[in-house]
C-alpha cells in the first residue's frame, strides 16, 4: 500500500555517510519532532537526479528552511559510499542530508518502489518528495514515470 498524507513514516533504517564512515539512521528517531523535506531519486549520479533534482534542493535549501523546514534529506536505493560521493560532487554539505536506502527497505515500506530491471538498475525508489512533520506525512508529491515536475524543490516551495 502506498503511503499517503496523514500516514506515519514506517520504521525502517537508512545509512548516512559520516566523518568516520557509514552511520545507521533509524527513521522513527530521524523524523521525530522535526519538519523534514524529503526527496527520493531513482539513482545517485543518474542524469535527471544529478542535473536537476538534487541541485534544486541545494539551490532552494535556504528558502525551504525559511518556510519552516528544519532539515532537507534526499534518499536513493544506493549505498552510503555512493550517496556520500554524490553529495560531495553536488556541494550538499551543510544543506542536505543524504540517506542511503541500500536495500530499498524504505522505498518498499512506503509503497513507492519501482522496477528498473529493464535498465539494469534493479528495484529502486520512485521519484517523489514529501514533507514529514514529526513523523507524519504532511505533503506527498509522486512523479509519473519519466517525469520531473512535482517532486522538485520549486514545487515544494509553492506548496509551503
- What is the tens place of the pLDDT at every residue in 110-157? 999 988 888 878 788 999 999 999 999 999 999 998 899 999 999 999
CB count within 10 Å of CB 38 equals 27
Question: Which three cell numbers, joined as nine digits, stand for 148?
Answer: 520531473
Measured CA to CA, the distance from residue 83 to residue 121 in angstroms comes to 16
| The pLDDT of residue 158 | 95
* CATH code for residues 13-159: 3.40.30.10
- Assign 51 a pLDDT band (cuts: 50, 70, 90): confident
Q: Which residue has the cell 512506503?
A: 110
Model pTM score: 0.94
Catalytic residue numbers read 49
| The pLDDT of residue 121 | 81
Percent of the chain at pLDDT > 70 equals 100
Amino acid at each position: 500500500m502506498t503511503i499517503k498524507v496523514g500516514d506515519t513514516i514506517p520504521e525502517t533504517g537508512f545509512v548516512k555517510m559520516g566523518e568516520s564512515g557509514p552511520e545507521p539512521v533509524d527513521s522513527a528517531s530521524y523524523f521525530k519532532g522535526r519538519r523534514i523535506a524529503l526527496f527520493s531519486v531513482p539513482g545517485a549520479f543518474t542524469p535527471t537526479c544529478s542535473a536537476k533534482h538534487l541541485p534544486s534542493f541545494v539551490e532552494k535549501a535556504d528558502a525551504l528552511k525559511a518556510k519552516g523546514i528544519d532539515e532537507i534529506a534526499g534518499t536513493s536505493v544506493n549505498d552510503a559510499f555512493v550517496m556520500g560521493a554524490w553529495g560531495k560532487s553536488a556541494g550538499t554539505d551543510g544543506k542536505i542530508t543524504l540517506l542511503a536506502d541500500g536495500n530499498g527497505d524504505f522505498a518498499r515500506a512506503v509503497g513507492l518502489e519501482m522496477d528498473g530491471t529493464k535498465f539494469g538498475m534493479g528495484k529502486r525508489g520512485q521519484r517523489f518528495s514529501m514533507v514529514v512533520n514529526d513523523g507524519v506525512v504532511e505533503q506527498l508529491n509522486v512523479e509519473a514515470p519519466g517525469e520531473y515536475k512535482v517532486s522538485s524543490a520549486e514545487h515544494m516551495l509553492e506548496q509551503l
